[in-house]
Structure 1
Amino acid sequence: MMRFSIMVGLVIASSMARAGDNLPYSPSADVPDYVATMTVQPLVGPTHTRIVTHHGGWVRVEEMQATTYGNPAKQISVTFRGDSQTGYSPVSISRETSTSYERIRGVIETGQTQTHDSERCDVREIQRRDPDRSEPGLKWLSCVTADGIEIATEVFVNGSPFRQSTLVKLERRPVSAEEVALPAKLLDVAQWLHFDDQPAATGVKQPPDFAMRMQWKGAVRVMRRHDPWIYDEAAYPDGRRYLSIRNARTGQELSFRAAKGGAFENLFLCQKCQPGDMLSILHGRDAVPKSMGHTDSVLGEPCEWFDMAPRTADVNHSQCLTPDRIPLEIGIGGAWAPREEFVADEIQRRDLKPEEILPPADVLTRSNWDIPG
């Protein structure tokens, strides 16, 4: 059977997000209040409407089943995606840093002008990739009015049109702060992670709680299990941090990433993740581990090696599991990164309290994400 490539999915998803350009490009923070209604024509999918509302440097972008709040000057966006029928509404917070792969690296004045709905604009090329690398990729064009309002965009993939948006109506009118304000309880952990007791299905043996520390080349990884919750956090010497908190039974998930130097980069919150969500794919929720046919011993405990993603290409993820399913060794890598080999150096089997599964306070502090309020 053909193996599914996780990295292909990741690249496409990332490109789509960038091509969608959730935040309008703005050459300055000094842009007047406005509401712009645009028509979006993607290469794949239906033509649809995009509404951008701006006030005081912050925008609200409504497009299909997603609403994005953000600050173009600070390159931070908060996207809510939902389904009105299921109530499924994950939130993704993205903050561009100096190491972000597709951050804005430069802007080129093309010298071209366009007119949309009687509004004149100048075309600029937004450079998001390293200009010294010859790899094919995405090209972003933004058409901006004299007072800094983006009224048209074009995105090309390897030179071919991928997506374009054009102005239908532009209103320069007062916009209230409330129209672009993020929800007050956006980062209230109680809204996302519910620790009510949920007994395992009848006849299913509940795995024991544990707290464990692992190390690899100066990096420290902490794992805790309070079934059905798993807490997994890694901190690296260069300041990078990764955190995952998930409940496979209910679909609740939180994922956090900090870049080199410790700058906060991404936060994903999901009340009920669905099959196909990025975190579900990465965690291999639907994958059935396959025995690799050999054993090991760590801290005097025997463990058996399993391939945790046996039907995925580009990902090499294996774990050495004890009989009660505790990973004493974790190896993971792939086409996008060298393999890491974390090995347990401390483990405790004990009853954990729900608060031991909560994220560190700084992860949900609004000021660390440049979010007001």
Structure 2
Amino acid sequence: MKTAAITGTIACIAFAAAAVAQSNLDASPVQPDYVAVTQALDKNGKPVDPTVTITHHDGMFLSETLRDGTKSIGFGPASNDPVLRWSRQADGQITFLELLLRDRKPDAAKTETPQPLAEVSTVAGERCRWRETASKSPSPGTFIAREQTCVTDDGIVIETRLLAPNDVPIYHTRLTSLDRRAIAPAEIDPPSEILTAEFWLRPIRSHNADPSQPDFDITLETVSGSTIRLLRHYPWHYREQRDGGGSVSIKIWNRLEAQGISYRQAGGHRRLTAARPTDDGSASFKFDETTGKISLGKAEAVLGESCEWFDLMPGVQDAGNRECLTRDGLPLKLDISGMNLALPYTATSFRRRAVALSEMRLPAEAFSLDEWGLPAVR
């Protein structure tokens, strides 16, 4: 396990620890419904933020982590894949959502299997047995990080610690209270309103039209057949990219409000991110990758229309975005680079026409929990 792979929030750690308990421990009985409160600890065992509340019902977990007034919530099955996450501000606003379905391929060299330890503990009145999981055959330049979990006889994780080679905890969580009780589905179901595009794309305020930024509809292609479709209805933008391998990426965003939805599907990997700004206007997610606009001093004509080349990501070392823009901002050529790849796109059609926000659409299944392997909201 690489060092970078073991960093992350305590919220994700606590959720994963609870979720993998049943899937990894085949000898354990079916977990009962319960509510567990766990506390993060520093390397000396002293309590630190955050406190995480984990609610389990019928194989589904809800974790709630409060930090700096923001509550981060995770929801998913015992397999921990896929998972739905969202954030709720102190005033109750939900400003961020993520759905993630990973394309995991079996790798025998990296399979993790739990091994029982002789250690037994009693935490908050609950007796548990320790198990340890370590990655097999680490790659050169990496180290084995050992994850240990203390699990009750009915499969509930009581304590979790990830240990560096010197046995110093990289993270450590411990139960503070446990309530085995019947959990109603409504206690763990996500809010139904956040599972719609309308919730995230509802205009926050009205904006006057900008004559210098007319509506447009543009299709661009590469020589290999990949396509990008761009729509603009100021200040809203739509970008749909389809590649020869079947991958699709769609982004709808408001450049003035840090608001929008990003959706990507490639093979078995699927990810949806949605965000709205907080009351102070701060962004929960950056949709626009533009970092500046510097003229490259070059011009050309595409489909009879003249355009000038600009660097829209100046100063960025590992990625680039250069566009040939008309006077009113229509991109007729794109030169996108990153991951040692360069993708030139050229417009095959463009129109300045009225564009409705309703034309900027996601696939029908984008917010369908069934498509993400999650149960429907009850």
How does the TM-score come out when normalised to structure 2? 0.80
Instruction: Report whether the alignment pairs 1:225 with 2:232.
Output: yes
- CA 1:16–1:137: 2 relative to 1, 3 Å: farther
Distance 2:311 2:165 in 1: 36
Q: 1:110 Cα shift?
A: 3.8
Q: CA 1:191/1:310 → structure 2, altered by over 3 Å: closer, same or farther?
A: same
**2:271 is matched by which residue type in structure 1?**
N
Distance in structure 2 (CA, Å) of the matches to 1:298 and 1:138? 55
Contact residue 100 and residue 270 of structure 2 kept, 8 A: yes
User: What secondary structure, in the 3-state scheme, does the structure 1 residue paired with 2:320 have?
Assistant: strand
| Structure 2 equivalent of residue 348 of structure 1 | 351
Partner residue, 2:33: 33
Structure 1 unaligned runs (5+)? 1-10
Q: Let me know the Cα RMSD of the aligned residues.
A: 3.3
1:370 aligned residue: 373
> Could you tell me how far apart the structure 1 residues matched to 2:294 and 2:88 are?
34
Residues 311, 120 of structure 1: alpha-carbon distance in 2 compared, 3 angstrom cutoff? same
Compared CA separation, residues 167 and 86, structure 1 to 2 (3 A): closer
2:271 aligned to 252, 261, 266, which one?
Answer: 266
The verdict on how the C-alpha distance between 1:181 and 1:344 changes in structure 2, with shifts beyond 3 A counting, is same
Matched with 1:312 is: 316
51, 57, 69: which is aligned to 1:49?
Answer: 51
2:111 aligned partner? 106
- Preserved CA contact (<8 Å) 1:116 1:167: no
Contact 2:10/2:40, CA 8 A, preserved across alignment: no
Partners of 1:301 and 1:322 within 8 A in 2: yes
Deviation at 1:338, TM superposition (A): 2.3
User: Residues 59 and 303 from structure 1, CA distance in 2 versus in 1: closer, same or farther, beyond 3 angstroms?
Assistant: same
Paired with 1:229 and 1:140, the residues of 2 have a C-alpha distance of: 47
2 CA distance for matches of 1:207 and 1:48? 46
Tell me which amino acid in the other structure corresponds to 1:303: C
* Equivalent pair of 1:229/1:357 in contact (CA under 8 Å): no
State which of 60, 63, 75 in structure 2 corresponds to 1:61.
63
What is the distance in 1 between the residues matched to 2:192 and 2:289? 33
Name the CA distance, whole Å, in 1 between partners of 2:237 and 2:316.
Answer: 22
Identity rate, percent: 22
1:325-372 alpha-carbon deviations (Å, 9 max, x no partner)? 1112222233x4523222221212211122111222222223212232
For 2:196, the equivalent position in structure 1 comes to 188
Q: Which amino acid aligns with 1:356?
A: E
Q: Which moved more, 1:296-305 or 1:222-231?
A: 296-305
1:323 aligned to which of 324, 327, 332: 327
Whole-angstrom distance in 2 between the partners of 1:368 and 1:269:
17
Contact 1:19 1:155 in 2 (8 A): no
1:237 partner SS:
coil
Note the C-alpha offset of 1:54: 0.2
SS of 1:313's equivalent?
coil
Displacement of 1:126 after TM fit?
A: 6.4
| Superposition deviation, residue 229 in structure 1 | 0.7
1:237 maps to: 244
The 1:173/1:241 distance shift into structure 2, 3 A limit, reads: same
Cα separation, 2, equivalents of 1:12 and 1:205: 47
Instruction: Please give the per-residue CA displacement for 1:38-65, whole angstroms capped at 9, x wherever unaligned.
Output: 111368x952211101001111101112
The CA distance in 1 between the partners of 2:48 and 2:340, in whole Å, is: 35
Structure 2 unmatched ranges of 5 or more = 24-29
Task: Give the structure with higher Rg (CA).
Answer: 2
2:221 equivalent in structure 1: 215
Secondary structure of 1:368's partner? helix
CA contact (8 A) 2:221 2:347 kept: yes
Shift in CA distance, 27/39, structure 1 to aligned 2, threshold 3 Å: closer
Aligned counterpart, 2:305: 301
Among candidates 248, 251, 254, match of residue 247 of structure 1: 254
1:5 is matched with which residue? none
Query: Cα 1:153–1:331, aligned 2, differ >3 Å: closer, same or farther?
Result: farther
8 Å Cα contact 2:212/2:328 also seen in 1: no
Q: Is the 1:50–1:61 contact (alpha carbons within 8 Å) kept by the matching residues of 2?
A: yes
Q: What's the TM-score once normalised by structure 1's chain length?
A: 0.81
C-alpha distance in structure 2 between counterparts of 1:18 and 1:214, whole Å: 43
Contact 2:86/2:94 (<8 A) preserved: no
CA distance in 2, matches of 1:239, 1:158: 43
Kept in 1: contact 2:217–2:351 (CA 8 A): yes
User: Do the aligned partners of residues 214 and 134 (structure 1) sit closer, same or farther apart at CA in structure 2, a change above 3 Å counting?
Assistant: farther
Distance 2:150 2:86 in 1: 26
